[in-house]
Structure 1
Amino acid sequence: MAVNKQQCLDIAAAIIDGNPPDDETYNELARMPEQDVFAMLPGANAVREHFFGQRVHLCCILNAKSGKCAEDCAFCAQSVYAKTNVPVYPLMDGQAIQKGEQYATANRIHRFSVVTSGGRLSEKAVGRLAGAIADLPKQDLRFCASLGTLGSSDFEVLKQAGITRYHHNLETAESHFEKICTSHTYADRVKTITEAKKAGMAVCAGGIFGIGESDAQVLELGVALRRLDVDAVPVNFLIPVAGTRLEKTPGISALRCLKIIALLRYLLFDKPILVCGGRTTNLGCYHDRVFQAGASGIMTGNYLTAPGCEPSDDHRMIHELGLIAK
């Protein structure tokens, strides 16, 4: 039986009252046709407002080491298996990282993340990067890192430098993972998330959508993130890049993007959901609806290898929607 708008509102009310629905109800939400997504939005928005009010979290990233990644992720322009023209450069020095921090501060962004290509950053390089971040001011800006499959000693070094959150996406559902990546396993990603949490770091973990996954696999990924009890969930939508294995992948529709965000909000009701890569490319004129669908934050500025939105434009959008960047 299809779920209608009133049933979605009832599900939202139950979540707000501390009674999330059973698995079959989530399956019904996942099976809703994307054309019916607007029936999901009022409830998703109500859940977002209950847990996050009118606050919107802004984050940005710095691609601090680019290209020549030995992993074979099908969507990634930085893989050595992809025939792309992305910039290739080694780990940036402290001055370049400082400029990234200054950009984030000047643009009233809340969290600044340093990202590096490759399966993992070496222990020596982790120390260099941590030293650069340790020297940065720690006032209103918070720091995040995404450096691959690190171990417990690496996480301790990052913590000492003032990095409070580690980013490591699951990318997609376990049942779909081998179609996207064969150079490492889904279990490897779970292990890194587990190790980061054991080390006392907050974890930002989500995935990329529009890479051939089914609606059931979107739900499967969401359930895995709930089981891991991650602290924030980035939602990315594929921007097909020429030269990658997914270059000919059909675009994901704006309505399906909104449906994915809404489904994750119902499932991960009290977790920050941040819409990141592919926001404007895939949602187009609907990209300001991500908050109505349940997102509580967005990535602003450029992505790893593609341009994003100017922070000033995102601040203006947030203000015009009656929300608060805080």
Structure 2
Amino acid sequence: MTVLETLVTKSLDRELPSRAEALRVLAGDDELLDVVAAAFRVRREFFGRRVKLNTIVNLKSGLCPEDCTYCSQRLGSTAQIMKYSWIDPAEAAELAGKAVDAGVKRVCLVASGRGPGDRDIRRVESTIGAIKAEHPQVEVCVCLGLLQDGQAERLRDAGAYAYSHNLNTSEERYGEICTTHTFADRVDTVRRATRGGLSPCSGAIFGMGESDDEIVDLAFALRNLDPDSVPVNFLIPFEGTPLEGRWELTPERCLRILALFRFCFPDVEVRLAGGREIHLRGMQVLALHVANSIFLGDYLTSEGQPGGDDLQLIADAGFTIEGLEQATLPVARHDLVTLRHRGAGSAAPAD
């Protein structure tokens, strides 16, 4: 049995790869198309040809006190992004409604900052209520930074389904990308969200100089948290941030990372997130054979691919949108072109 066959067998049994097997996926010893094909066997077993659509509503942009080096909203950033305080719940609900009409199943409400205070939680509670009043079936995911006691429970009671908080990179090198909070702080928030009854969502950002060993360390650390969804972001090196000019990813590297995450999270939503358009480029269709979920529209401070193009990509590849029949799939001729929020206009990965 080859290594790839072993990986498929283990994944179908929901068994974690060995470290050597995980490193082999990244090393390039096997042909890329063989790796993608193996990952697709796992994806197809648990998710068929369905693609889940998500969108981000950026509730509050910029002026963050944290110093995450990858982020255009960080303390000291000179990136040319829009900065604004909390948007009105009605505006957020309108943006969410446009996304739901395009087939989106999960709306992610994101706000910059270290973590929410009581007033912030009240604002988000109102926003969740406004969205759920119009679209009771939609999953609302919240991403507000580090959680304190009782906050996850309040968000759950307001109607939130999930909480998103990425680990971003391995514990060993976390201090190289952020000094204002720790890897352990992030782990603690994911655990608080889970204990509070929210579906845990936690992933990573790649392209920040991480080694193969560090990628595997991160994948295994995430597996220990047992998340329900895992966003995979690829760095866009913003001008005005410490990582500006760092372009080290290739489409093949991105696909191998995605495949590794599929083998590590066989029955979990692996979401293709920020940076996919510029790093995968014409190979995005191969990524759909590995990841079963994507963001539609814009990210935080970055413009995504036009929504119609994404829908056409899904249809042309023979996939269907989760929750919609093929016959009703809104493709490029749909009048949805791009989902825009007022935080978009520059490039940055989703947090």
- How does the TM-score come out when normalised to structure 1? 0.94
Please list the CA deviations of residues 17-41 of structure 1 after superposition, one character each: whole Å capped at 9, or x if unmatched.
Answer: 45554333223334335x8422311
Question: Any residues of structure 2 matched to 1:172-183 within 5 Å, and which?
Answer: 172-183=169-180
Residue equivalent to 1:209? 206
Residue equivalent to 1:93? 88
Q: Is the 8 A contact 1:56 1:297 kept in 2?
A: yes
Q: For residues 19 and 154 of structure 1, what CA distance do their matches in structure 2 show?
A: 33
Q: For residues 174 and 21 of structure 1, what CA distance do their matches in structure 2 show?
A: 20
Q: For residues 216 and 223 of structure 1, what CA distance do their matches in structure 2 show?
A: 11
The percentage of aligned residue pairs carrying the same residue is 34
SS of the residue aligned with 1:109? coil
Q: Give the residue type in structure 1 aligned to 2:128.
A: I
Q: Is the 8 A contact 1:233 1:272 kept in 2?
A: yes
Residue equivalent to 1:64? 59
Q: For residues 74 and 233 of structure 1, what CA distance do their matches in structure 2 show?
A: 21
Residue equivalent to 1:194? 191
Q: Is the 8 A contact 1:127 1:157 kept in 2?
A: no
Question: Any residues of structure 2 matched to 1:1-326 within 5 Å, and which?
Answer: 6-17=2-13, 20-32=16-28, 36-136=31-131, 137-292=134-289, 294-326=290-322
Decide which moves more: 19-28 or 156-165: 19-28
Q: Give the residue type in structure 1 aligned to 2:315.
A: H
SS of the residue aligned with 1:174? coil
Q: For residues 302 and 13 of structure 2, what CA distance do their matches in structure 1 show?
A: 41
Q: For residues 288 and 100 of structure 2, what CA distance do their matches in structure 1 show?
A: 23
Q: Is the 8 A contact 2:90 2:130 kept in 1?
A: no
Q: CA deviation at 1:219?
A: 0.9
Unaligned runs of 5+ in 1: none
Q: Is the 8 A contact 1:75 1:180 kept in 2?
A: yes
Q: Give the residue type in structure 1 aligned to 2:303.
A: P
Q: Give the residue type in structure 2 aligned to 1:290.
A: A
Question: Structure 1 residues 189 and 288 mapped into 2: Cα distance closer, same or farther (>3 Å)?
Answer: same
Unaligned runs of 5+ in 2: 323-351
- The runs of at least 4 aligned residues of structure 1 exceeding 2 Å deviation read 17-33, 35-39, 135-140
Q: Alpha carbon RMSD of aligned pairs, Å?
A: 1.6
Please list the CA deviations of residues 157-208 of structure 1 after superposition, one character each: whole Å capped at 9, or x if unmatched.
Answer: 1111111100000011111211111111000000000111111110110010
Q: Is the 8 A contact 2:229 2:268 kept in 1?
A: yes
Question: Structure 1 residues 204 and 72 mapped into 2: Cα distance closer, same or farther (>3 Å)?
Answer: same
Question: Structure 1 residues 266 and 203 mapped into 2: Cα distance closer, same or farther (>3 Å)?
Answer: same
SS of the residue aligned with 2:172? helix
Question: Structure 1 residues 317 and 164 mapped into 2: Cα distance closer, same or farther (>3 Å)?
Answer: same
Q: For residues 135 and 29 of structure 1, what CA distance do their matches in structure 2 show?
A: 44
Q: For residues 20 and 147 of structure 1, what CA distance do their matches in structure 2 show?
A: 30
Q: Is the 8 A contact 2:97 2:135 kept in 1?
A: no
Q: For residues 209 and 222 of structure 1, what CA distance do their matches in structure 2 show?
A: 12
Question: Structure 1 residues 157 and 42 mapped into 2: Cα distance closer, same or farther (>3 Å)?
Answer: same
Please list the CA deviations of residues 188-246 of structure 1 after superposition, one character each: whole Å capped at 9, or x if unmatched.
Answer: 00000011111111011001000111111111111011001011000000111100000
Q: Give the residue type in structure 1 aligned to 2:294.
A: I
Question: Structure 1 residues 17 and 233 mapped into 2: Cα distance closer, same or farther (>3 Å)?
Answer: closer
Aligned residues: 320
Please list the CA deviations of residues 48-101 of structure 1 after superposition, one character each: whole Å capped at 9, or x if unmatched.
Answer: 001111111110001110000010001100112111121111111112111122
Q: Is the 8 A contact 1:63 1:304 kept in 2?
A: yes
Decide which moves more: 203-212 or 307-316: 307-316
Decide which moves more: 132-141 or 229-238: 132-141
Q: Is the 8 A contact 1:265 1:273 kept in 2?
A: yes
Q: Give the residue type in structure 1 aligned to 2:301.
A: T
- How does the TM-score come out when normalised to structure 2? 0.87
Q: For residues 258 and 10 of structure 1, what CA distance do their matches in structure 2 show?
A: 19
Q: Is the 8 A contact 2:11 2:264 kept in 1?
A: no
Decide which moves more: 226-235 or 11-20: 11-20
Q: For residues 126 and 25 of structure 1, what CA distance do their matches in structure 2 show?
A: 43
